[in-house]
Amino acid sequence: MSTSASAREPNPKNFVPDLHLLGIRDVIYKTAGIFQRDHKLHLLKVRCTLRMKELGIGLLRDYFQYLTKPSGQVETTILLNGILVGETRFFRSMPQLDALRKIVLPKLVAAKSTAAARTLKIWSAGCSTGEEAYTLAIILLEASSLLDDWTCSVLATDLNQNSVEHAKRGIYGESSTRNVPPPLRQKYFVKDATGLSVSPEIRALVSFQRLNLLDGRHLSMIAKTDVIFCRNVLIHFDMASKTRVIEHLHNSLSPAGVLFVGHAESLFGVSNNFSLLHMPAAIAYEKTKTSLAKRRLL
């Protein structure tokens, strides 16, 4: 759920990027699959200039060389933290959350009712500063009658390390919490001098980690996930990177698992391994029977 800050700032007229800025764009793409289009390169230069000032580097050429050294991976991560800015809030996109609560969770419970272990795992992929992940945890706790005797958990990941650290703190202001219904605000939040703090009961369900959605090695360890929320993330990838990410998400889903993406996003032309799941006021994706059969043959 991380978004590019450049989408909200105008592009200066007659801006011409030099070759080293284009090289930095390539470094970012190779690292994270995020392609900074030409009309956003001016802001990439601004972010680079801020980092150069911090490091005492005067020329863009020297900063590019710094990034491409073996030791430049740490700096690339810091630069990405500046480029990716989280924009989210609690209980965002209520039609999808209602579909999860009223349709998807009962469907999953029925599908897994004969399983030896009653576990239900949700993954917030691109969790930004954590509001979505904590919202999902609240929904799980509020569905206690349905999920009695079930072990539930929410994994929350994001590429931006600063956002992950913010999420771990679990303290939010009025802007982030404005959509929380008063009864849930009173039940699951503690007010203090710095804002509203998420209750220990909610924190216990959620684990956070920094994760690159193109990192197949780490993503292979995320398996048998029942629900994935990957909202407003795919729009930042080109087709090649998007295809890889969707393949990783497909592999991470349980056979009856469900994938939610953003309203402006679609898997049409990206993957044939998913089919649309139509619900009132919301859509999601589930694995196609063909992809499941193919997986059994492997």
How far CA 162 is from CA of 170, 202, 231, 242, in Å, comes to 13, 21, 19, 24
Grouping H, G, I as helix, E, B as strand and the rest as coil, residue 230 is: strand
Phi-psi region of 265 (alpha: psi -120 to 50; beta: other; left: phi over 0): beta
Q: How far is the C-alpha of 34 from the C-alpha of 67, rounded, in Å?
A: 16
Which part of the chain has CATH 3.40.50.150? 94-297
Domain topology for 94-297 = Rossmann fold (3.40.50)
Which part of the chain has CATH 1.10.155.10? 2-85
- Are 47 and 83 contacting, i.e. CB atoms less than 8 angstroms apart? yes
- Are 158 and 164 contacting, i.e. CB atoms less than 8 angstroms apart? yes
Can you give the pLDDT at residue 115? Answer: 82
Can you give the pLDDT at residue 8? Answer: 44
φ, ψ of residue 264 to 5 degrees: the values are -90, 5
Q: Is 142 exposed, middle or buried (0-12, 13-18, 19+ CB in 10 A)?
A: middle
What is the CATH class of 2-85? mainly alpha
Q: Which residue has tokens 């990034």? A: 67
Can you give the pLDDT at residue 180? Answer: 95
Helices (H), the chain: 19-32, 41-55, 60-68, 73-83, 94-99, 105-111, 131-142, 161-169, 174-177, 182-188, 200-203, 216-219, 239-252, 289-297
pTM metric for this prediction? 0.82
Label each residue of 104-132 as H, E or C.
HHHHHHHHCCCCCCCEEEEEEECCCCCHH
Q: Which residue has tokens 């909610």? A: 202
Written as one letter, the residue type at 61 is R
Residue spans of the chain under pLDDT 70 = 1-16, 85-87, 290-298
Q: How far is the C-alpha of 244 from the C-alpha of 260, rounded, in Å?
A: 17
Q: Which helix (H) or strand (E) holds 39?
A: none
- Are 262 and 251 contacting, i.e. CB atoms less than 8 angstroms apart? no
Q: Is 250 exposed, middle or buried (0-12, 13-18, 19+ CB in 10 A)?
A: buried
What is the dihedral sign for C-alpha 219, 76, 173, 196?
A: positive
Q: How far is the C-alpha of 209 from the C-alpha of 215, rounded, in Å?
A: 13
